Amino acid sequence: MRNVIAGGSREMKAEIIAVGTELLLGQIVNTNGPFVAKGLADLGIDVYFEETVGDNDERLRQTVEFAAARSDLIILIGGLGPTKDDLTKQTVAQYLKKPLVEDAAAMSKIRRYYRETKKQMTENNRLQALYIKDSLPLKNTTGFAVGNFYQNPQGADFLLLPGPPSELKPMFEHVAEPLLSKTYFKDHHLFSRVLRFFGIGESLLVTKIADLIDNQTNPTIAPYAKTSEVTLRLTASSQNAAEAEKLLDGMETIIRKRAGKYLYGYGDDNSLVNVVVKLLEKKNLNLAAAESLTAGAFQAVLAEVPGVSNVFSGGVVTYSNEAKELLLDIPNRVLEEKGAVSGETAKLMATSIRNKLKTDIGIAFTGVAGPGELEGNPVGTVWIGIAYKDQPVEARVFHFSNARPFIRERSVLTGLDWLRCKLTK
């Protein structure tokens, strides 16, 4: 649950421009854009456009002009360095018809570095200490190039940030974000809550709450689909946290009535496996797994959670029928008569691994990941078995479509979701 400041004494439309030919060649992925965009969203500043432009003054000038005509705040990232390719400050200064002036503190930091390392300082390094006259130079704690914030009495404001993520991130978090908050917002705040769903597709979920989305005002509702889950971000605008919580609770209650059984958790950084591991810890239960088609993927996903060793002991990967016999004592007769892909086999696997590792719960996966069908079962047929404490062992069959890796991922998540349901019953 992520709640943060802001709200608008003024509705801000921001635009982010990343500068660098290496971005256009696909040589590096632009992680600065999402980082800054997320920070702005937390502040309640809308980003309507992002652009990437190469190290070319004409195209950069054109992009700045387009942006200035439609946005209130333009954030330029990169191109503040010492080389000939670095043109951002110069181009913006020219657009604003302002000269560049030297930041004495930044300049003395550069001089000190070269003195201390006994390297030769080339003249172009001075460029990094320059900033646009009448703007606020922003201190770079992890590099040399100063940032700039220019409040424009006649048009769009400009924020200039360095390109290396190691310089951008601290400057944005510690200098720019507080500055923007102070400059643009005084009274209102935004509070967000992320609801996470598994087992329902985006289109069906969105259909179920279409009227809520169509009539959204406060809170707003933003759906987002990942590979195997959907999230809804509810965002309330309010003067205080208590009132916002009330607004969010109200909307969540309505959504729960429509799709509550698919809601498995909250938060931006959460996942089904985290929720399951927390439930196991809370109930003081431990788990072992026997995997055929998933071939270790279920256990590997579990082990992504640090400290999982308290609730997870281990298991087997019985990819072949022989392995099912040798490691789990599944009778050859069952494999022959009922099939490796069957409820009987899934149940025996779950029970056997639970007994062998003396755990509270055993979970088993057997099915057809493809490419071809198996024992007459089409690709995507998956049996999951759960032996849960002293309850009778259960098995369920699922039919997943799509490609091989998807079937296995889906099997793992479905097993986790079934466990979650059993643990919350």
Residue list 6-65, contact with a copy of itself (CB under 8 A): 21-31, 33-41, 47-54, 56, 59, 63
- The DSSP-derived string for 395-415 is EEEEE--S-HHHHHHHHHHHH
Q: Binding to a copy of itself (CB under 8 A): which residues in 319-338?
A: 319-320, 322-323, 326-327
Output the CA–CA distances (angstroms, integers) from residue 112 to 81, 101, 119, 127, 137, in the order listed: 18, 20, 11, 16, 19
Under rule CB under 8 A, how many of the chain's residues touch a copy of itself?
Answer: 107
Which of 197, 312, 365, 383 touches a copy of itself (CB under 8 A)?
Answer: 312
- The DSSP-derived string for 339-353 is -SSSHHHHHHHHHHH
Shortest distance (Å) from residue 317 CB to a copy of itself? 5
Q: Count other Cβ atoms within 10 Å, centred on residue 350.
A: 29
Q: What would the two tokens of residue 387 be?
A: 């032996």
Shortest distance (Å) from residue 234 CB to a copy of itself? 14
Shortest distance (Å) from residue 39 CB to a copy of itself? 7
CA distance 381 to 378: 6
Task: Compute, in degrees rounded to 10, the torsion defined by CA atoms 72, 76, 77, 83.
Answer: -170
Is residue 267 part of the contact set for a copy of itself (CB under 8 A)?
no
Shortest distance (Å) from residue 153 CB to a copy of itself? 27
Is residue 108 part of the contact set for a copy of itself (CB under 8 A)?
no
Output the CA–CA distances (angstroms, integers) from residue 259 to 101, 196, 226, 417, in the order listed: 58, 11, 17, 15
Is residue 142 part of the contact set for a copy of itself (CB under 8 A)?
yes
Q: Binding to a copy of itself (CB under 8 A): which residues in 290-309?
A: 291, 293-300, 302-304, 306-309
Is residue 203 part of the contact set for a copy of itself (CB under 8 A)?
yes
Strands 189-198 and 136-138: unpaired
Is residue 389 part of the contact set for a copy of itself (CB under 8 A)?
no
Stretch of 145-153, 154-162, 223-231, 241-249 lying at the interface with a copy of itself (CB under 8 A): 223-231
Is residue 2 part of the contact set for a copy of itself (CB under 8 A)?
yes
With respect to a copy of itself, which residue has the nearer C-beta, 138 or 317?
A: 317
Which of 10, 116, 390, 392 touches a copy of itself (CB under 8 A)?
Answer: 116
3-state secondary structure of 282: helix
Distance of CA 88 to the CA centre of its chain: 30
With respect to a copy of itself, which residue has the nearer C-beta, 1 or 104?
A: 1
Is residue 148 part of the contact set for a copy of itself (CB under 8 A)?
no
Find the radius of gyration of the CA atoms of the chain. Answer: 28
Is residue 166 part of the contact set for a copy of itself (CB under 8 A)?
yes
**Of 357, 411, 354, 356, the residue nearest 386 (C-alpha):** 354
CA distance 424 to 195: 17
Is residue 174 part of the contact set for a copy of itself (CB under 8 A)?
no
